[in-house]
Chain A
Amino acid sequence: AQSVTQLDSQVPVFEEAPVELRCNYSSSVSVYLFWYVQYPNQGLQLLLKYLSGSTLVESINGFEAEFNKSQTSFHLRKPSVHISDTAEYFCAVSDEAGGYNKLIFGAGTRLAVHP
């Protein structure tokens, strides 16, 4: 079964600084990877996803993530963060077994952007 490890539970950063949120997954032949963002007391919103093709995927609000098969990683980066990026971020992997598909999540990383 798949598993996901988010290496940092909290990441404090100053506004306009770069940030990297780390994510590693257990190895699989075929893997789909996702980053979701959650604001307080809300559901999760998809930030970006890797299904196939280019290993670098981008979101509309400046985040990007790179799929690295050899290191089984899918780290999330942003070159310059804003106060509004303060939220919890979840990395997830799609696990398919026995004809059933489910999303496996990491424990989350709380990004706190300070002025």
Chain B
Amino acid sequence: DGGITQSPKYLFRKEGQNVTLSCEQNLNHDAMYWYRQDPGQGLRLIYYSQIVNDFQKGDIAEGYSVSREKKESFPLTVTSAQKNPTAFYLCASAPGRTEAFFGQGTRLTVV
């Protein structure tokens, strides 16, 4: 059935390592988003993409990178430059301005 799939659900990273979070959607949506969630801070936008091969920085893009080679996929890489990467990461897609659909999230912990 249709939806957004994030994997893995839990991820552990050693300091200094890069790690990639997967986000796949089969809703045929043009727009995709990555948000970071920390307690008491709501959702903060990392990157977003309106079409294939195009993406824009959000409010907290430093230390992150993305690609949009296919409409269905929008992976997020957390690089070693991100000093405080432990957080809950949420991917979303949207057909337009009407609403966004969210995946179940990936909890990243630095060990």
Q: A residues within 8 A CB of B99?
A: 34, 46, 49
B76 interfacial by beta-carbon distance below 8 Å: no
B31 interfacial by beta-carbon distance below 8 Å: yes
Least distance between B43 CB and chain A CB atoms (Å): 4
A115 interfacial by beta-carbon distance below 8 Å: no
Interface pair B102/A103, CB less than 8 Å apart: no
A107 interfacial by beta-carbon distance below 8 Å: yes
A105 interfacial by beta-carbon distance below 8 Å: yes
Partner of A100, one of B50, B90, B101, B102: B50
B103 interfacial by beta-carbon distance below 8 Å: yes
Which residue of chain B is the closest to A51 with respect to CB atoms? B98
Which residue of chain B is the closest to A31 with respect to CB atoms? B97
Q: B residues within 8 A CB of A36?
A: 102
* B73-111 interface with A by 8 A CB criterion: 88, 90, 92, 94, 96-105, 107
Known: A42-B104, A101-B96. 14 other contacts (CB 8 A): A6-B42, A32-B97, A43-B6, A43-B103, A44-B92, A51-B98, A100-B50, A101-B94, A102-B33, A102-B48, A103-B45, A103-B92, A105-B43, A107-B41
